Amino acid sequence: MIRLYDFDEVKPEEILNRDIRAEADVEATVDAIIADVRARGDAALLDYAAKFDHAQLDSVQVTQAEIDEAFAELEASDPEFITTLKMAAANIRHFHEQQLHKNFVLNDRPGMVLGQKYTPIQRAGVYVPGGTAAYPSTVLMDVIPAKVAGVQQIVMTTPAGRDGKVNAGILAAAVIAGIDCIFKTGGAQAVAALAYGTESVPAVDKIVGPGNIYVATAKRKVFGKVGIDMIAGPSEILVLADGSCNPAWVAADLLSQAEHDKLATPVLVTDSWDLAKAVQAELEVQIPQLPRAAIARASVDSNGKIIVTNDMKKAIDAVNIIAPEHLEICVDDPFAVLNDIQNAGSIFLGKNVPEALGDYFAGPNHTLPTSGTARFSSPLGVDDFVKKSSFIYYTREALGEVQARIANFAEHEGLHAHAKSVTIRFEDEQKGE
Find all residues with CB under 8 Å of 122, minimum gap 6, and list them.
151, 152, 153, 205
Determine how β-strand 236-241 pairs with β-strand 326-330.
parallel
d(CA 117, CA 105): 9
List the catalytic residue out of 326, 328, 355, 366. Answer: 326
| Separation CA 288–CA 399 (nearest Å) | 74
Q: Which amino acid is at 233?
A: G
Distance between CA 90 and CA 82 in Å, rounded?
12
- Decide: 110 and 121 in contact? Cβ < 8 Å: no
Phi, psi of 354 (to 5 degrees): -65, 155
CA proximity to 134, closest of 100, 105, 161, 115: 161
Please check whether residue 8 is in contact with residue 318, taking contact to mean a CB–CB distance below 8 angstroms. Answer: no
- Taking Cα atoms as reference points, which of 315, 304, 302, 328 lies closest to residue 269? 315
Q: What CA–CA distance (Å, rounded) separates 333 from 353?
A: 13
Comparing CA positions, the residue from 152, 155, 135, 149 lying closest to residue 88 is 135
* Most distant CA pair in the chain, distance: 92
- Count CB-CB contacts under 10 A for residue 235: 24
Active site residue 75: no
What φ, ψ does residue 374 adopt, rounded to 5°? -65, -10
325, 328, 355, 366: which one is catalytic?
325
User: Is position 418 annotated as part of the catalytic site?
Assistant: no
Task: List the catalytic residues.
Answer: 325-326
